[in-house]
Amino acid sequence: MLNDKVVLVTGGTGSFGRKFVEIALKEGHPRKLIVFSRDELKQFEMAQVLSPSDYPNLRYFIGDVRDRERLYRALAGVDVVIHAAALKQVPACEYNPLEAVKTNILGAAHLIDAAIDRGVSRVVALSTDKAANPINLYGATKLCSDKLFVAANAYGAHQTRFAVVRYGNVVGSRGSVIPLFMKMRERGVVTITDPRMTRFWITIEQGVRFVLKALTRMDGGEIFVPKIPSMNIMDVAAAVAPGCRTEAIGIRPGEKLHEIMVPADEALNSVEHGDHYVIQPAHPFWDRDKYLASSGGKPCAPGFCYSSDANDVWLSADEIRELAGIQ
């Protein structure tokens, strides 16, 4: 999908964006690859590793998804957009709610308008498990964003197709639990919220490759959900800080005990494939029968729920250590 295409990644200097750019440059052949982000320092640091002098098709573009006009300028001639820009830290979004709304919701709306008007072919937006039955503002803004991208496929006759990818916690990403635990182990005590807590887990590279797969499979309107393993927070603590004492401090505001990626309420719209689920859009433009006949998937049973505590695949402490590259 990327060969000879002009590709733009919003939030391109984040954990996902950097890995996406790295894989796209080394394994694909985009005619131009644009890193769109608002942080000049991160762009400078990224350019020291992935330099336009080494990759003549690479561009760095300062801009913010809140800035509608800047998006219009950036999307001139673009074929494919991967939308990874977001405010993602739960406590920060709770404390700065309007900022989360501006970036995660209004930024999505600006991108949709610019992509349609500029004739972009395909847009894949990154979501989060926290958008399923959200209880915090981050999840609520991402649910709203997902709804905007799905509904954008119904906006009259235009060539732009939109889809969403939803997955769980990313191993070792900025702000994730592993870097935090690694700092805590130096003092011999690791604080956890609740020993029963479970989470879905995926590596950054797995996330990038799943997005690329969704990009090739999308018709427009789907929410793609990968089948990924779960982990228990106590196993993470054992993997990162063996021998350290753990101290339960209670669940933080806006935090769930378990994560959900396909809620039971969406089971009737969901289809299971070999390595992923697809939540179909509940819009008149979508033909469920046609999709089932052509996709090879099977409908999920009524009441089905894909949650981290009821998963079939679990990571052990040793597997967590190996995935995270912990010595």
Q: What's the pLDDT tens digit per position in 130-148?
A: 999 999 999 999 999 999 9
Q: Structure pTM?
A: 0.94
Lowest model confidence (mean pLDDT) among 171-185, 216-230, 278-292: 171-185
Rounded to an integer, what distance in angstroms lies between the CA atom of residue 307 and that of residue 269?
Answer: 16
- In 3D space, the residue among 43, 267, 281 whose CA is nearest the CA of residue 162 turns out to be 281
Rounded CA-CA distance 244/135 in Å is: 31
pLDDT band at 172 (very low <50, low <70, confident <90, very high): low
Q: Are the C-beta atoms of 154 and 147 separated by less than 8 Å?
A: no
Tell me if residue 256 is catalytic: no
CATH number of 6-168+203-227+261-305: 3.40.50.720
Residue-level length of the chain: 327
CA distance linking residue 269 with residue 162, whole number of Å: 18
Rounded to an integer, what distance in angstroms lies between the CA atom of residue 88 and that of residue 141? 10
- Given a cut of 70, whether residue 173 has pLDDT beyond it is no
Count Cβ atoms within 10 A of the Cβ of residue 102 and give its class: 0-12 exposed, 13-18 middle, 19 or more buried.
middle
Q: For 248-270, what is each residue's pLDDT tens digit?
A: 999 888 888 999 999 999 999 99
Given 5, 19, 88, 130, the catalytic residue: 130
CB 202 within 8 A of CB 170: yes
